[in-house]
Copies of this chain bind each other. A is one copy, B any other.
């Protein structure tokens, strides 16, 4: 008891000492003048909208803004119409989004034009991988903002509510409207009465900001905690149990969003355990949610140890079920067929399931991209996925259009991002990881936005120091723009490709350190007895002749899961993009690349380039020192140093490991490895400190 108190005190003290720790995110700008806001209605959401306008107004002093709520078919979901003196929407929440758009334009120096602005997806949701014990799986920003450990774990404090409100505001400001509060490997605790009370309290704080709460549930809850002998979805008692549980939840939280389920995946129970299909399993939960307008997000992240090619399995399992799911089920599909690797081709399920709602799942938290240590801006990765053409309904059938309702008449459209927030003072561990949270929201709202635009906005909102009373058009001096904005944006926009280069270039995938950190390199990891599809050699297939996973028609034929002409493009060495080369092809080390170099040399130059890119990022950042407060400058500088050391380790480890197969020298104009392979293997799962 005493210990707990002390810990709280310590946390409080350490928080209050950090004056500029980045806690204010992209919401640090204050008003520079007075604005009069007129609105014909009242609501908690509208009150927030008015307050935001008044606190952040940077337009003309003593201007007037009218907020108008009326039905307009040009406006979709919670979209809005914006014009210099008015924000119009169908809903109160639409008004709030309009306010944030208006303020963003003021604060980034963009004109307030007459526009209609609709969200691309109905549901724009964060998946928190938070456990009720307050730990976060792949959490790099300390512990959960929702859950607390120990005796008083269910007591809702004022500090809790304040933090949740800040979180809600940040989400709303970028258009996010939902949050799954617990990890997909769901603990039964979350649907117990005490925890549901806490969920209710969270929902109450989030509600004015338009954020609905959702829960992950385990398919086996009926037998785990319901006192039933089975969780068979066709069992009458099971159906009854789910209906009752859903009713209980809605009795507490009438606008509860719904469930997220990970079933028959990585040890989680699912309908297969009872001889039922994913559809049969999902539909029971969907039926329970339906009367309350709840939705069920059902993950397609499934793979078994026996299949010849893990990349094919989600498609193989789910395609036959197309059309069998209830209309409030959405199949949640990771961007790529394996697992959030630095680069994957898009999942072939996108666009292929034509009679089922499908939603993309992105990972905002950088599980495989350097945790909260590396500076990696993820928007380019998501943009790459969203803009990928599936060809499912002819050219232009991008992943974006296949999932946002443009092509298929989905009952629900949605997009999910695995959250990267925790109780760290700066929310995300790395200051620049805030940009990924920001970018996810912006892309979820507008899935054709460019990474460049998003980066531009985020940098301006996060780093500009706007003097009081200054007009928007003069916000950003030429000096600041040229010496800060341009180089930092360049760094952000290159950062994902840099990570691909120094981690897994040219189609390499799943060669990270196993079994724990998923952080450093581990292409060698393959202990006896471990299932093969968890070991990197399963994916890189290196031998003294060649390297890469053959997914052509002569191999696993994964290419055929892609619609023509894409399947043939990937299948054919002439047309397969080199960035996916080793994903689809097993090739000799001396295969000649488009550059004229051998494959081996090209691999070496990619790793070297990645490492040199990080070195360049260090220079860029050091040079912007005059434009950033010391605390944020130093934080990022330190992390970039670690990132460089890690990039060096990735390069050294991968080149020295694969050199054992290629038996060729590393080109001599490349900086030599500075770590020995034995040393790197020995420290394999422990690179944070190096």
Chain A interface residues toward B at CB < 8 A = 615, 618-619, 622-623, 625, 638, 640-641, 644-645, 648, 665-666, 668, 671-676
Nearest 6 pairs between A and B by C-beta? A618-B672, A644-B674, A641-B674, A638-B676, A645-B674, A623-B668
Interface residues of chain A: helix, strand, loop or mixed (majority): helix
User: How many copies of the polypeptide does the oligomer hold?
Assistant: 2
- Sample (17) of A-B pairs whose CB atoms are under 8 Å apart: A615-B671, A615-B672, A618-B671, A618-B672, A622-B665, A622-B666, A622-B668, A622-B672, A625-B665, A638-B676, A640-B672, A641-B672, A641-B674, A641-B675, A644-B674, A645-B674, A648-B674
Residues of B close to A619: CB separation below 8 A: 668, 672
Residues of B close to A641: CB separation below 8 A: 672-676
Identify the closest chain B residue to A622 (Cβ). Answer: B672
Cα A665 to Cα B633 in complex, Å, equals 14
Residues of B close to A644: CB separation below 8 A: 672, 674
Cα A666 to Cα B622 in complex, Å, equals 9
Identify the closest chain B residue to A625 (Cβ). Answer: B665
If A622-B665, A641-B676 are given as contacts, then 9 extra A-B residue pairs at C-beta distance below 8 Å, sorted by A number, are A615-B671, A618-B672, A622-B668, A623-B668, A625-B665, A640-B672, A644-B672, A644-B674, A645-B675
Cα A189 to Cα B78 in complex, Å, equals 91
Chain B: minimal CB distance from A651 (Å): 13
Which among A625, A640, A676 has the highest number of chain B CB atoms within 10 Å? A676
Chain B: minimal CB distance from A457 (Å): 28
Cα A262 to Cα B97 in complex, Å, equals 82
Chain B: minimal CB distance from A581 (Å): 27
Identify the closest chain B residue to A645 (Cβ). Answer: B674
Residues of B close to A638: CB separation below 8 A: 676
Residues of B close to A676: CB separation below 8 A: 638, 641
Cα A623 to Cα B672 in complex, Å, equals 11
Residues of B close to A668: CB separation below 8 A: 619, 622-623
Cα A675 to Cα B689 in complex, Å, equals 11
Residues of B close to A671: CB separation below 8 A: 615, 618
Cα A202 to Cα B384 in complex, Å, equals 75
Cα A671 to Cα B671 in complex, Å, equals 13
Cα A675 to Cα B640 in complex, Å, equals 10
Chain B: minimal CB distance from A150 (Å): 31
Cα A619 to Cα B672 in complex, Å, equals 6
Residues of B close to A666: CB separation below 8 A: 622
Residues of B close to A645: CB separation below 8 A: 674-675
Cα A325 to Cα B288 in complex, Å, equals 105
Chain B: minimal CB distance from A130 (Å): 30
Cα A648 to Cα B615 in complex, Å, equals 13
Cα A615 to Cα B674 in complex, Å, equals 9
Chain B: minimal CB distance from A491 (Å): 13
Cα A640 to Cα B672 in complex, Å, equals 10
Cα A641 to Cα B673 in complex, Å, equals 7
Identify the closest chain B residue to A673 (Cβ). Answer: B641
Cα A674 to Cα B614 in complex, Å, equals 10
Identify the closest chain B residue to A683 (Cβ). Answer: B689
Cα A675 to Cα B673 in complex, Å, equals 17
Residues of B close to A622: CB separation below 8 A: 665-666, 668, 672
